[in-house]
């Protein structure tokens, strides 16, 4: 796989105020492929306001994704929508929004195959490693990630406990890219963290800070 085509997704954590998330995004977006608004408790209006904040911060609309809310993605004219297990099927969204990029969260081979068959452009599989956001649950591991990659022809983005130190092993398992939350949002210098993730997945190895 061409390293330059590998993807880095940054996902909001639902805790950081959207104005603060937009401020972080303003500094990190050159290093990331996609910036996701994953805000389960926000209304459609609040999500639109959040997207406006991100755009005012200089984030290009082609880098922006919203989770679950296809209506918000359509209204905002952004790049993508990422669907959860409880969301509409990708094909249902694509019938209305044929030009939008559609992702789907999956946790098994069966779910990944179902998402692909129903029109997803990529799937996000996890959690790969132990992560604080899934406290007490074991990671699904690299072997299962590799099985999911082999089971579908669309890109697989890996999520869950991924650091610059273990990102290469994730990509060697066949993932097209990685998704990060606390690894960037919780960093002392989010821009440097994003740059390090980006350089790691595109060039290999861990780079000096």
**Residues designated as active site:** 127
End-to-end CA distance of the chain: 26
What is the dihedral angle through the alpha carbons of 86, 92, 93, 95, rounded to the nearest 10 degrees? Answer: 180
SS3 percent helix, strand, coil of the chain, rounded to 5, is 45, 15, 40
CA 148 to chain CA mean position, Å = 17
- HSE, CB side, 13 Å, CA atoms: give it for residue 100: 30
User: How many angstroms separate the CA atoms of 156 and 150, rounded?
Assistant: 10
């Amino acid at each position: 796989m061409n390293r330059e085509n590998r993807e880095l997704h940054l996902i909001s954590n639902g805790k950081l105020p959207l104005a603060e998330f937009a401020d972080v995004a303003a500094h990190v977006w050159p290093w990331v492929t996609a910036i996701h608004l994953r805000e389960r408790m926000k209304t459609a209006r609040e999500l639109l306001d959040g997207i406006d904040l991100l755009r005012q911060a200089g984030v290009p609309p082609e880098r922006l994704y919203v989770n679950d809310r296809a209506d918000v993605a359509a209204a905002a004219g952004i790049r993508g929508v990422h669907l959860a297990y409880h969301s509409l099927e990708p094909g249902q969204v694509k019938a209305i929004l044929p030009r939008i990029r559609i992702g789907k969260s999956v946790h098994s081979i069966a779910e990944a195959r179902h998402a692909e068959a129903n029109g997803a452009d990529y799937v996000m599989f996890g959690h790969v490693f132990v992560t604080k956001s899934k406290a007490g649950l074991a990671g699904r591991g690299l072997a299962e990630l590799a099985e999911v990659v082999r089971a579908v022809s669309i890109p697989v983005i890996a999520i869950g406990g991924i650091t610059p130190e273990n990102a290469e092993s994730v990509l060697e398992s066949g993932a097209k890219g990685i998704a990060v939350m606390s690894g960037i949002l919780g960093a002392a210098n989010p821009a440097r963290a994003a740059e390090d993730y980006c350089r790691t997945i595109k060039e290999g190895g861990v780079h000096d800070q």
